[in-house]
Structures are given as structure tokens and as C-alpha cells.
Structure 1
Amino acid sequence: MDEVLTVRRWRRYGADRLYVTHETGARVGSVDLQSGEVVADDPVLEARVRRAAQAYLRSDVPELVLPVTSELASLDALEGLGTGLEAWLGDVRDGARSDHGLRGSPLGVRLERLADDGWETVHDVPLGRQGSVIEHLLVGPGGIWTVSERRHPGSRVRVAARTMHVDGRAVTYLRDARLEAARVQGLLQSVGCAGVHVRAALVVTGDLERDAHHPPQDALVVARHEVPNVFRRMHPHVDAARVKAIAGLARRRTTWAR
């Protein structure tokens, strides 16, 4: 019977790590996605930690469960192609990603492409002292947006005015996104950004179906492939100086520590 490992991503307080655990719950090791440091509880298991992390980074799931002797062994042939863990982490060490790990996520990379269009992106925005994190805050000509991703590859995701369902099951993504946007708006206003309006954007991986007659209220729901063009097409109503000023405040931790 194959040994099973679980890989989970942990993002809190500006940290971004992968944790690899055994099916018994015992920790096998971790990978710091910012510094590239690989830590194995037993040095003999370091290669296993690296391969498990590589398998996770090549997938599109929030948590990966994999048998050691099949998926991990099959990665040996990939290690010389520059597509493994070292190549992914090399971008971190070379400064291609920000101090926060989400800049290097597939969605974060897409949002960064908006820089030439006058948009600024702040990643891993820490709200308050309870560990809440906004994945991305996008500030640009088309306004201020909290941007978060929900991954359901292979599932049917249906969204209407105030409801969202995944394979027929109701989820609270829309409500949560609106609450996040409202909280960000309040905090920005409290530090002097008078009159700002923050809206929520949900980026969905899955078979997205939108109700054309009853679109979501006060939120944008799009598929990942629609980013970044959906923001480029927005009517510009925020000038460049204001974009810079708001983004500057958004990058200060003191703005969110309330």
C-alpha cells in the first residue's frame, strides 16, 4: 500500500509556506516560498519534501494528497527540465516576486501585467490582528478592487445576483467578498482616502456560468482567463496621482492594523 503525503499552503502575517505531512499527521517538512528554504524533519526526507512541493506547485488545488511511490517518483524525469521546485523558487531568490508569496501565484502574475496600464497591485494585505488576509488589492484607473480566487477545477460554478453555487451547493463567496471590500473601504477612508469606493472581484477556476439577467450585485465574478483584460476594459475614472497615493497607503501595514 502506498505511503500518502499531504501538502498544504499556509499564508499568514506575510509568511507563505508549504507544509508536508504524513497520513498519520506527523510533519515531514516545509518549504518557505519566499526565501526558498527547505526544511525536513529528517534530512533523509529532504528530497521527498522537495518533490511533494513540486507536485503541489504544478497542480491547481488548495490541498494535495499524493501517494509517494507513484506521483513523487514520476517527477524524477522532470527535474532536469527547469520546471521543478528549484526553478519556481529561483524567481523568489532573484526578486521576481514581491516580499509576499501571492505575487508569484498564477493570479498574482496576471494582475502584475496591468502595471503598464497604470494599475498597482498589493498582495497579501493583512487585515487586523486576527490573521485575515486579502489575497490581492488592485488600484488603478478602473477603481479599487479586492481580488480573491476560488478554485473548483472540473466543477460547475453558477453565480446570480446574490447567490453562488458550486455543483449545486450554496457557498458564501459573494457575501465574504463584499464584506472584505467593505472593510478595506472603511480602513482606507479612516487613513484619509475620502470618497473611495472599493469593490470585490472573485476569480473562479471551474466551469463558470453567470446569470445574464441577474448579474452579481456589487461584485465582479470572472474566470481566471479573463484576467487581466477585464480590468483593462474598465472605464477610467481614477487619475494616476490618486492611484499612486492610495497604493502607497495600502502598502503601509499601519493602514490595516486596526
Structure 2
Amino acid sequence: MGDLRTERWRRYGHDRVYVNRAADSAAVAWYDCRTGKINILDETYRAEALSALAPFLTPEPDATPTTEPPIRPSPPPAAPPPPVTAPPPSHDLAANKPGASLRRHIDELEPSPLLRTLKRWFGLDAELRPWETGLQGERIAGKSLNRLRRDGWFILHSVELPSGADIDHVAIGPPGVFTINTKHHRGGRIWLGDHAAMVNGQPTPYVRNSLFEARRAARLLTHTCGFPVDVHPVLAVVGAATMTIRTTAPSIHLIDGSHASHALSTLSPVLTPTDTERIYTAAREQNTWHTTPGKPGHA
């Protein structure tokens, strides 16, 4: 028992008790105080975890009052359920498709698919064109990122923020957590320096925006998970003719969005499967991205 400790976790309608290893804070089990369900994440700790959770187990709600100490219910004997608990469907971001936010904006600009097609034919789509180009880029990058799911990654798309902006993609896997800002520049020349990126010789805010997204995601995920979550910014460019990196220590990752899965899969693992799943459980909940944590030390 000396190598395990319990931690109460109450957020967004959840009330849970986690059993963590003292050495590395990795969760081995958790108990849902509202439903009475026990989830064993590491079978080698089953007996110790159940013993640690015993003080938190509640008696049956219709039990007859008695002066004797309540009898604790036996833990469920069945095999443990999946450790990732899905949030209510209305708040589950896992269902979002790549470019979902752009798709909605395009529909608002021109609800009729027929009129959108006619405008493209007659060259009257100047207002729609940049949005449709962006949508195509996010779909290409998103399709590539989805391939990472075969290797234990979790991928989210179009994570909307209270400001109305969105994070194009969030990738959570063994090498860590990544926010991915996708841009579509067919035939473009991309240049990345220490703190700036240019497209065809013109400066862009891509580095600043990518850093902002990652820092915001880190604050929100850390606040919800209850432990530090590092988030790495990625700029994924689709369709570029050339991509040049003129710095030995870039502040963001610059990758080819068409081959995003390959670029991320080559990185070294740093997260355990348990931590990966805990971060994903928080990230897929819409409420996580709409919280207001304490003022951070950095903007």
C-alpha cells in the first residue's frame, strides 16, 4: 500500500477517486462516486487498488438503516471496462470531422450547395474561395492524422474556443500532445525562422498563432487533468512547393500536412498509455475548452 495514494477529483459534474502510483503519479484505478463503478487500469494492482478505494465505497441507497457499520459492497468481478469514459454526446468533440468549423462558416455564407457551385463556375466565389481552400487543407491533413489512431493516438478536429476561433486539430499520443494549425498553400514557398514564418516572401502570423494555441491548450488541459500537460505547437502546410527552415531551434514544428501522420509518428514517446488516455478524456469534453483557469504566468 505504501506505493499507492488516492486523489479525489471533482469537475464538471464528475466525482471520482483516482488511485495513483506514488512514484510517478500514474493512475492504476479510479472509482466513480456517483455511479459506484470501479475501473481497474492496471490489473497488477487490482487487490491493492480495491483496498485503497474501500473507504470511499458507498452502501446501497436503499439499505435499511442500522446502528452497525455499513457493509461495503463487493467490487464488480467482471473484466475492467475501457479506461476512457465518453462524455455526453452533445459535448463530445470526438465526433467532429476535419474542417467542421469552416464547413459551418461556408454554409452560413451561402447555404445553397447549388449556388456555391454556380458561383465557382462563374468566378463569383471570391468571398467563399479562401474558406473552401482552408477546408480542403484541413480535410487533407485530418485524413493523414487519423491514420495515427492505429498506433494508439487520439485525434480531435475543429476544437472550438469561446472566442469563436478553433484549433484545427489536437493530436494526443505516445510522443505527447500537439495542437496543429493547418494552412493550405498550393505551390507556395514556406520559410520558417526563429520567430516568424513567411509564404512566398510575405510575413504571416502563423508562428504567433500556433504558439498561442499550444499555450492555451496546455493551460486548459492542465487545469482539467490536475497534472501538468505540455503541448507542442505544429504548423502543417498542405500543398507547398518548398519548405525551408532557417533556424537550429524552431519554436514550432513545421510539417507537410499531407504526410502529418508520418511526421508525428517518428517522434520519441514520452507519455504512458494511462496518461495519454486521461488527457484524451479531458480533451474530448467541450467544457474543458470553455473553462477559465487562473491567470497564467505567460500570455
Which category describes the TM-score, using the shorter chain as reference length? 0.5 to 0.7
Please state how far the C-alpha of 1:135 moved relative to its aligned partner.
0.8
Whole-angstrom CA distance in 2 between matches of 1:53 and 1:188:
41
- Tell me the CA shift for residue 149 of structure 1: 0.7
Q: Pick from 185, 191, 201: which aligns with 1:158? A: 191
| 2:140 maps to amino acid | P
| CA distance in 1 between partners of 2:186 and 2:192 (Å) | 16
The residue that corresponds to 1:201 in the other structure is: 234
Q: Deviations over 1:59-109 (max 9, x none)?
A: xx63469xxxxxxxxxxxxxxxxxxxxxxxxxxxxxxxxxxx999811111
Alpha-carbon separation, structure 1, partners of 2:255 and 2:235? 6
Alignment counterpart, residue 236 of structure 1, candidates 245, 269, 272: 269
- Report what 1:115 is aligned to: 149
> Conserved in 2, the CA contact under 8 Å of 1:141 and 1:236?
yes
TM-score (norm 1): 0.63
Contact 2:225–2:278 under 8 Å retained in 1: no
Report the secondary structure of 1:235's partner residue: coil
SS in 2 for 1:145: strand
Does the residue aligned with 1:62 lie in a helix, a strand or coil? helix
Aligned-partner Cα distance in 2 for 1:125–1:244 = 18
Which of 130, 139, 147 lines up with 1:62 in the alignment? 130
**Is 2:211 aligned against 1:174?**
no
Q: Secondary structure at the match of 1:191?
A: helix
More strand by share: 1
**Equivalent residue number for residue 158 of structure 2:** 124
Q: Which runs of 5 or more structure 2 residues have no equivalent in the other structure?
A: 1-98, 123-128, 292-299
Q: Which amino acid aligns with 1:11?
A: S
Amino acid at match of 1:126: E
In 2, the alpha carbon distance for the partners of 1:228 and 1:54 equals 34
Does the Cα contact within 8 Å between 1:123 and 1:136 map onto a contact in 2? yes
The size of the alignment, in residue pairs, is 186
Which SS does the other structure have where 1:153 is aligned? coil
After TM superposition, give the deviation of residue 125 of structure 1 in Å. Answer: 1.1
* Bigger Cα Rg: 2
State the Cα distance separating 1:11 from its structure 2 match: 2.1
Structure 1 SS opposite 2:275: helix
Q: Counterpart in 2 of 1:16?
A: 104
Amino acid at match of 2:220: L
TM-score (norm 2): 0.55
Aligned to 2:187, what secondary structure does the other structure show?
strand
Verify the 8 A CA contact 1:164 1:171 in the aligned structure 2.
yes
Aligned residue number for residue 37 of structure 1: none
Structure 2 partner of 1:35: none
Q: Is 2:225 the partner of 1:135? A: no
State the superposition RMSD in angstroms: 3.2
Deviation of the 1:221 alpha carbon: 0.5
The partner residue of 2:177 within 132, 139, 144 is 144
Aligned equivalent of 1:251:
284
Offset at 1:163? 1.6
Correspondence list, 1:88-103, <5 A? none
